[in-house]
Structures are given as structure tokens and as C-alpha cells.
Structure 1
Amino acid sequence: MPCPHSRSTDDEDHGIERREFMKTALAIGGTSAMFAAKARGEPVLQGSTEGLPARQYAWNDFMPKNGLTGLAKTPAHHLQLLVDYTGDGTPTEADREQVEAALQTLEDAYEWDNEGLMFTIGYSLSYFDRFDEDLPESAGMRPPEDIIDETDIASSGKIEADHADAHLHLASKHAHVLLEAEEALFGAVDEVNGVDVETDLSGVFEKTDRRTGFIGNPKERWDEDLQGKNPIEEGASVFFGFKSLFTDSQPSEDDVAIQEGPFADGTTEQVSLLLDNNLKQWYGKHDIEERIERMYSPSHTLDETGEFGRKLAERDGTSAPSDEKSMGDAAAETAEDAEDKGVVGHAQKLARARVDDPDWEDGRPLILRRDFPSTDGGRAHTQFISNQRRIDDFISVRKAMAFVDWDADDPDPAESEVQLKDHGIQGHFKVQSRATFLVPPRDLRALPPASP
């Protein structure tokens, strides 16, 4: 009889085979992949445009919760579509009506939750440049070049600034839902989940890039999709191994909402491709204790975190729990740890980029992460998506991550005395591209003007 953890039973083998099939179908895309995945997919309830939240990115209340942290669990399958507006000049009202009708078709076809479909559409500064009016300062936007210039100066290699006009991020538990939604959006099918497709985005938008991702066992992902010896250790939950989403490091959706102006209840969105190109070095050069120090802080120990951080429940405790220190204490010791111990933790550095907030004991974190791993193109990478009130917030977090002696009161990296490349997870990934978008509230999502 096989042991309880064996993968040799017919049911388990079938489950692995089905999961890999769905992931592969989504990565390939197209109508053939859609029909094949749909034949093996589970039925999904229809939805309604009535009663949907004003915020496009209001996903958390519609997803199952993690039993340890209480945070919303990321949907298993993700699809990103980068698109350009095809019209001459500024969008017409007819264009806006067409886009809104196409998006409402998806909302009628699928319930707005993890079992159905959730999505956002955001717009870049390149899109808004076609208007005579400027975006209001309250929108919090900056171009991707600003992130690259201000935070990625220590990176090796060229980083691409992506200027697609718009970005669609679709997420679901079911891969076939994303495939159907994509085909419906671009006019390849007449019906989606029992709802007639009367209009679509074709003629208004054209795709410039397509990206997919999947939440699952990273060691199995490597075996299924990538070449070469698998460096990832058994039991790892992500490519770098450690659990990283905690209640004290993830702000709420309220916390990242634009507070005023015509785009209030929207948010800004930062989209990056990060190549996890040094995973073999991460696992081969550093033992488990060293990886714990680099992921969390030198105060953390294996006994306190467990392998891959699973003993850390709601909080990442960016100091050893036995020290009874707060996140702020550990953050304040970052430069001292760099000098005295020669190592600093990824989480400990990020904890410095927070703002005072009476609702947060150690300050409010600035960015809401919605990233996921991917093996698109046969390379291990992270598709890093974050929401924040303003792009400046992401820049602050990235500066804190990149520079050990970063100071919130004097955050210019050019003045940094310690610019180590080998600390935290620095040196173990490479930024390939960055993009920035404004995600308007739902009532302005269809080709919004710069000054509504």
C-alpha cells in the first residue's frame, strides 16, 4: 500500500495530469486550447453586473481565506493582456460604450469571485498622453522610467519600460474561464458560459503581449516546465521557498485606494517581470539558516520560523518572536545588522518603507501584492503586480529593498553608503521590464478621459 503522501494512485496522477494540462492550455491560448480546457473544466455559475463593488480591484472579500493568516488566497490561474488603443486621437463615446459592454458581458457570464472571474483594467500614461488635459496629481501616476531610474540603478542589464496603453489582469480558480474570457473579449466566440457575446474589444484594442501564471507547487512546476537540474527543495511554497504574505506586510484594499479627485476609489498598479535567474545559487550557496536570515532577518532562527516560514502564522515577525521586538525595532536595526552581522533580511528592509497609521502598530505597509510565479517562455520568473495609492509608494518600497542604509527622511539612493548587491534576495533575480497603470473606479474603466 502506498504511503499517504504518495503520488502513485490513479486519482492523484489524474489530478496532476489535469492540473498540468490546464496550465499548459492557458499558456498556449487560442480557441483550440480553450475548447480542450472547457471540455475538462468544471461548470461555473453565471454572474451579474448588479451590486459589484465600485473598486475594480476589490477582490479580497470574494476569495477564500488562508487558515493561518486570514488573508485572501490568490486565485490559481492568472492571465495578463497588454493592449494598445487602435483609434486615432482620443476615444469616442462609441468606443467607450463598446469597451464597457464587452466587460459587462464577462460580468454577466461569470460570478465575481474566485470560482468565477475577477479582473481589472488599468491605463498607462502613454494612453493618457493623447488627451489635451493632464491627469490630476491625485491620480498618483508616474512613468515606469522613474522606477527604473530611481530604484534599479544597481541592476545589471537593460530594463525595458513597457508603454502599452492598457493592462488587463484576469484571475480565476479555473484556467478554462480565463481562456473563454480572452476569446470572448477579442471576438473569437459568440457565446461565453451561456451568455451571448454581442460586442467585444476588437477594433478598439489590439494585444501587444500575453502573460500567464499559476499558483502551485514550485518544485513540480520546474519539473514540468523547465530544463536543467531542479534546485528547489521539497516543500517550498514559492520559487524562493518562503512564505511571504502576512497580515503585517499586506495592507488592505482601503489602504491602497486613491483618496481624492475624479479617480477616487481607484488605485495605481505596478507591473513587472522578474526573472528568478539565480535560484540554483540561492539554494546551492546558502544553507537553510542563511536563507532564513536573508528572507526575514538575522534575528530569525530555524526553530522559530520552521522550514519555509510555515511556523510564522499571521505576522512575519521581522525579529525573533522571543525578542518581543516590533517590526519597527527590526527595521531600525537594518543598517546595524549589515555592519555587525554582514547580512540583512528582505522583509526587514521592506519594513522600513511604512507610514504612520493609528490602525497599524508598526506602521502601514504601502503596497498590496498580487504577484504570482510563471514559467512562460521556459524560464522561472515572477510576474509582480502591486497596487498602491501612488507610484511613489512603490518607489519607496523598492528603494528600501535595494539599499541597506536607505533612510525614509533621506531616501536618495545616490547618497547611499552601503549598496551591497548580495543581501536579502538581491542578486538572485533580475528585473526584465516595468510598467505603471492607473486602475480607475469601475464607472470610469472604459477608456477614461484624463480629467473626467
Structure 2
Amino acid sequence: MPSRRALLYRLATLTGAAGLSGCSNFLARRAESPTADLPPNPHAGDLPQRQFAWNDGLRTDSDGNSLSPEHFRLLLLNLDTDPSEEAARTVELAMRTLEDAFEFRSDGLLHMLGWGTAYFERLGRLGDSPIRHPTVVSRTDDPELLSYDAILVLASDVPSQLEAAESAMFGTRSSLGGVTVEQRLGDAFTLADRRTGFLGEGLPAQHANAEGVPNDIPDDAPNFTGFFSGRTGTQASEERVTISDGRYAGGTTMHLSHLRESLDNWWAMPEADRVTQMFSSEFSPEDVAGNGPIDFADAVTEHAQETGRVGHWEKVARARKDDEPLLLRRDFNSVDGGHAAVQFLSVQRTLDDFVETRDAMNGWWLQDEHPDIQDERHNGILEFIEVLSRANFYVPPRDRRAFPDA
């Protein structure tokens, strides 16, 4: 198997041929100095090597569920410069500024820097990378298929810290959490788009003025559909989603979908019907009250035949390996654009895992079981969502987050 040095020299030749000015020399030198001659990260011993390993920094509830950060900001980025040692130094030092300023936990600041399909195309390596351009994976949607160079994911229970972090990285803020800002991501990237949102009891009700959100949404609803989505057993482990070998080992793939929600009809249904469509006809509202674990029988086909209606989670529960889900979700509610939405952010070992999970959610095979089940009608939550866009990214390990593969 070729060494990393040999692969990097080969990549230098390929990208030089592709016309990236100055890139080939940079890539060759990175074979000797992968960290762009910077000293070791002073926080390396305190932070997980996997950027997406947030679980140890999350709060937990009385049922032992990990609770997502309450506020999110996704900054979608276009690269303004060719890969170089100077650009790598800028990116790495900017990320270290975030680590200096806040604890890596939900009451501080959780973050990860991912690299998109446009970046790997710049390098001439998209075909060899663990990601690919997004595709349409539902016959009921026509999403915009997006390509970016990078994404910065920020999350915190303290919304002001997200605003401060963005200003430090892409604005003029001179200090962050008492730390002087000397390098900014804005020196290497242009901010192409921003996604924002929230997750947690009481927060959806604060946005009842958005299109698609009824005014009488319960005050304690954790998300726009009213149900807690982070129950034990519904998330893949951080180990499960980690790429285990090869040049991208220790990283993961990331998918981002923008899903518009239309929930007036959802909340007009009796609670028992909402439970059936979200979970399964085998459960009552009392069964799903609270945040405790729920065990799904593998009976979605029987439920389709008997009731003409199937639930979202009983379909998705079929997409498992070794009795574990394939996706680790970091999704959240959003009112970007003035309408109710979900920014569906997930990490998974391969993008095929995402496609397999979405295929299970589509439930097309169940339409043969009962005439009432259609592409969207009586088919989980598909009637209430529309996919507006999709994008894919690779999240490298922390020590390779500045220009991976370069």
C-alpha cells in the first residue's frame, strides 16, 4: 500500500496539472509537514480527535438521553484562496481560537469544520474522496443540489456565543471569550450561506409566527412536531459513524438537508393519529409520553396491511446494522426564510448509510400492502415535509482539519 507521503506527492502532481497555482509545492511539503509547521495544538489532550465527537460535552436528561445543544449556526463557505501553507496556518489558528475561547461542551461552544464537494473537485480528488455530489433520493422532491468548499458547524446552549464566534471568524470582532482574535476563517473563505436554528422544550413555541407553525403549538414542545427525537436507541454511536481505515480514517461523512415543514394539518390531527404517523400504530400517546426508550417490533408490513398507515420511526428503524442505527443526527428546527423547517444534519460512516436510511423512510415498498398508503399519504411524516436542498461534506480528524487531503 502506498505511503501517505507517496500519495501526497501524487496528489501534488494531479492538482498542479489541474491548474491550482502554487498548490503542487504546498502539497509536496505537506508530505513532510502535515501541520504546516505549527506547534502541536495545546488543547489536543483535552479535546476529542474526532471533531464530531460531541457526546461527552452534552447534557443528559433523567432518562439518560443526550440532549442536543439548544442553538445552532451553520456557516457554508466558499474558498477564496488556493491551498497553501499560509492558508492552512490561518485555518488551523482560527479554529484554535474557538477552542481557546470556549469549553468544548454545550454550555460553551461545540464545533466542527467539514469540507465539501467543491473543495475535493478543486483538488481533482472528488472521485477518490468519501463523499460525492448529492443526489435526489425521493421521487416526491426536487431539491437544489448544492456544492460548497466547506462548512463550519457551531452549536451552544448560549445563543450569544454563536453570534460572537461568527463575528470573530468572519467579522471584525477583536476578542472572543477573552482571547485575542489574530486569525480568521474569513481570511480564507467567503461566507456563502448561513443556516440557523434551535432545539429544546419551549423554543419552537417562541417561533409560532413562522409560516407552517400553528399558534397553539404546545409551550413544552421540543420541536415543531411535538415529540422528543433523541431517545436512546435512535442514534448511531460516534464509533459507528467513524471511517475506520484508509486515508480518511478517523473522520466521517456529513449530509445536510433543508426540509420545509407544513404543520397546520399535523396539529389538526388527534394526538393518537400523530403518534401513529410519527411512531407506529402499536403505540398510544401514553406509551410515548416522556423521553424514555421505545422498542419497535419489526411489524411495519403488518401494520400497513392492517391499518393502511405506517409510522416514520418504525420505517427508519429497519435501516440498522448490528441492531444499531446508521446515522448520528445533529438536526434542529429552523425558521430560516420565515417558514418552519428542519436543518437535517447527520454524520455517518458512508453516504450510502444516509441513502439507505432515507430509502427506508420513503416506504415505497409498503404501497403494495394497502391502497391507502401512497408516496406521502399515510406514510409517516412525508406528507408534512418538502426537501429544499441537499449538500455533502467530509469531516476530518481534528489534526487534519486544515485542508485535508492536501
Same topology, TM > 0.5: yes
1:428 corresponds to which residue? 384
What percent identity do the matched residue pairs reach?
A: 38
Q: Distance in 1 between matches of 2:133 and 2:326?
A: 18
SS class of match (2:60): coil
Deviations 1:386-441 (Å, cap 9, x if unpaired)?
Answer: 0100010000000000124279xxxxx9xxx9753111111101111111100011
Aligned residue for 2:100? Answer: 108
Contact 2:130 2:248 survives alignment (8 Å): no
Q: Deviations over 1:274-317 (max 9, x none)?
A: 1112x011111x21111111111111123322xxx32x51x222
Check 1:242–1:227 CA distance in 2 against 1; reply closer, same or farther (3 A cut): closer
Residue type of the alignment partner of 2:275:
I
The C-alpha deviation readout for 1:212-263, integer Å capped at 9, x for no partner, is: 1122425522336568851524543211111222221111111111111122
Q: 2:125 and 2:261 mapped to 1: Cα distance?
A: 40
Q: Sort the Cα spacing of 1:204 and 1:350 in 2 relative to 1 into closer, same or farther, 3 A.
A: same
Q: Report what 2:68 is aligned to.
A: 74
1:129 aligned to which of 121, 124, 145: 121
Matches for 1:99-178 after TM superposition, within 5 Å: 99-134=91-126, 136=128, 140-145=130-135, 148=136, 151-155=137-141, 158-178=142-162
- Partners in 1 of 2:52 and 2:213 — Cα distance? 38
Q: How far did residue 204 of structure 1 move?
A: 1.2
Q: 2:204·2:333 contact (CA, 8 Å) conserved in 1? A: no
Shift of 1:105: 1.1
Residues 374, 382 of structure 1: 8 Å contact kept: yes
AA aligned opposite 1:303: E
After TM superposition, the score normalised by the length of structure 2 is: 0.83
Letter in 1 for 2:252: T
The answer on 1:291 being equivalent to 2:277 is no
Q: 1:438 aligns with which of 390, 394, 399?
A: 394
**TM superposition shift of 1:61:** 0.4
Aligned-residue offset at 1:200: 1.1
In the other structure, the counterpart of 1:83 is 77
Aligned to 2:37: none
| 1:96 match | 88
Contact 1:275 1:380 in 2 (8 A): yes
Letter in 2 for 1:107: E
SS of the residue aligned with 1:129? helix
Partners of 1:187 and 1:154 in 2: CA distance: 40
Equivalence for 1:196: 180
Amino acid in the other structure paired with 1:372: F
User: What is the CA-CA distance between 1:339 and the residue it aligns to?
Assistant: 2.2
- The question of 1:336 aligning with 2:279 is answered no
Measure the CA separation in 2 of the matches of 1:262 and 1:228: 45
Q: Does structure 1 retain, via aligned residues, the 8 Å contact 2:76–2:151?
A: yes
Question: Is the contact made by 1:48 and 1:107 (CA closer than 8 Å) also made in structure 2?
Answer: no
Instruction: Provide the C-alpha distance between the structure 2 equivalents of 1:168 and 1:270, rounded to a whole number of angstroms.
Output: 13
Q: What letter is aligned with 1:446? A: A
The answer for the alignment partner of 2:345 in structure 1 is: 385
**What secondary structure, in the 3-state scheme, does the structure 1 residue paired with 2:357 have?**
helix
Q: Which residue of 2 aligns with 1:43?
A: none
Q: Are residue 49 (structure 1) and residue 25 (structure 2) matched?
A: no
Match of 1:14? none
1:62 alignment counterpart = 57
Q: CA 1:140–1:59 in structure 2 vs 1: closer, same or farther (change >3 Å)? A: same
Between the aligned partners of 2:61 and 2:214, the Cα distance in structure 1 is 32
- Residue 334 (structure 1) shift: 1.4
Unaligned ranges ≥5, structure 1: 1-46, 319-329, 358-362, 408-412
Within-5 A mapping of 1:274-353: 274-277=259-262, 279-284=263-268, 286-305=269-288, 309-310=289-290, 313=292, 315-318=293-296, 330-331=297-298, 333-353=299-319
Separation in 2, partners of 1:130, 1:236: 44
1:100: how far off?
Answer: 0.5
What is the CA distance between 1:48 and its match in structure 2?
5.9
d(CA) in 2 for partners of 1:364, 1:154:
28
Alpha carbons 1:48, 1:111 under 8 Å: kept: no
Gaps of 5+ in 2: 1-40
What is the aligned counterpart of 2:248 among 246, 263, 284?
263
Deviations 1:353-379 (A, max 9, x none): 111x2xxxxx11100111111122221
Q: CA deviation at 1:167?
A: 0.8
Change (3 A) 1:335 1:267: same
Residues 270, 434 of structure 1: 8 Å contact kept: yes
| Cα distance in 2 between the residues matched to 1:228 and 1:317 | 30
Q: Distance in 1 between matches of 2:174 and 2:140?
A: 50
Q: Which amino acid aligns with 1:242?
A: F
Q: Structure 1-normalised TM-score?
A: 0.75
**What CA deviation, in whole Å up to 9, does each residue of 1:302-359 have, x standing for no partner?**
3322xxx32x51x2222xxxxxxxxxxx23x21232122101111100011111x2xx
Q: 1:109, 1:194 within 8 Å by CA — same for their partners in 2?
A: yes
Match of 2:237 in 1: 252
Aligned partner of 2:19 in structure 1 is none
Give the letter aligned to residue 348 of structure 2: Q
C-alpha separation between the residues in 2 aligned to 1:218 and 1:177?
A: 17
Measured after TM superposition, the shift of residue 111 of structure 1 is: 1.4
